[in-house]
Amino acid sequence: MRLTIELDREDDGRWIAEALELPGVMCYGESRDQAICLAERLAIEVIADRIAHGELPSSALAVSFSIPDEQMAIC
């Protein structure tokens, strides 16, 4: 399963990271890296929960994340 992390910076300076392929997987962080880390962790927890409830096959644990090139330039 390949997940895309979208980033945005709020007016108050916080970062928000969202796993586009998993609705509701969205996390705020004080830094860009913290927001990404929290979103990745939440995505893995959601996938594990769905596997435990039979909603996804165990092969869904093969997860990789990507951040679009245009998002990498955000500072």
The dihedrals phi and psi of 59, each to the nearest 5 degrees, come to -65, -15
**pLDDT of res. 73:** 59
To which residue do tokens 């890296």 refer?
33
CA neighbours closer than 13 Å in the CB half-sphere of residue 46: 17
Contact 67, 21 (CB under 8 A): no
pLDDT, position 44:
94
Tens-of-pLDDT digits for all 75 residues of the chain?
889 999 999 999 999 999 999 999 999 999 999 999 999 999 999 999 999 999 988 888 788 888 887 666 555
pTM here? Answer: 0.82
The predicted structure's pLDDT at residue 62: 86
> Given the structure tokens 């705020």, which residue do they identify?
28
**CATH number corresponding to 2-72:** 3.30.160
d(CA 75, CA 71): 9
The secondary structure element, H or E, covering residue 1 is none
